[in-house]
Amino acid sequence: MTFETLLSLLPWLALIFMASGMVKGISGFGMPFIAIPASTILFNVPITQAMGWVLASGFATNIVQLAQTRKQWRVLGQIWLLVGVLLTTMAMTV
């Protein structure tokens, strides 16, 4: 997929992600369950590419949330051991 093609799909992808985000907001889960099949069916892209789009949007959302709550970094001093163990085990299992 070329960059120009991706740019032409961007408004439709935004619509898909907004709809799947509304499902997640209402039910608490389901954003990937809507976004991945809709992207693969409507745009005829591989599932791996649709998964990449979902991961990229989730990563961007987490960065925004991190920037908005940077005053809460002092909590990390209290839970640093838990975070360290989680990161280590996640790296070993993935």
Tens of pLDDT, residue by residue over 8-17, are 889 999 999 9
pLDDT score for 24: 87
Share of the chain above pLDDT 70, in %: 100
Contacts of residue 47, defined as CB under 8 A and 6 or more positions apart, other chains included, come to 36, 40
Contacts of residue 30, defined as CB under 8 A and 6 or more positions apart, other chains included, come to 20, 23, 24
pLDDT tens, position by position, 23-63:
988 998 888 999 999 999 999 999 999 999 999 988 888 88
Say how many domains are in the chain: 1
Of the CA atoms within 13 Å of residue 38, those in its CB half-sphere come to 19
Share of the chain above pLDDT 90, in %: 46
pLDDT score for 68: 85
27-37 b/e (C-beta count within 10 Å ≥ 16 → b) = eeeebbebbbe
pLDDT score for 30: 85
Range of the domain at 32: 3-93
Higher-scoring residue by pLDDT: 56, 94? 56
Structure tokens at 77: 């001093």
> Contact 54/33 with Cβ under 8 angstroms?
no
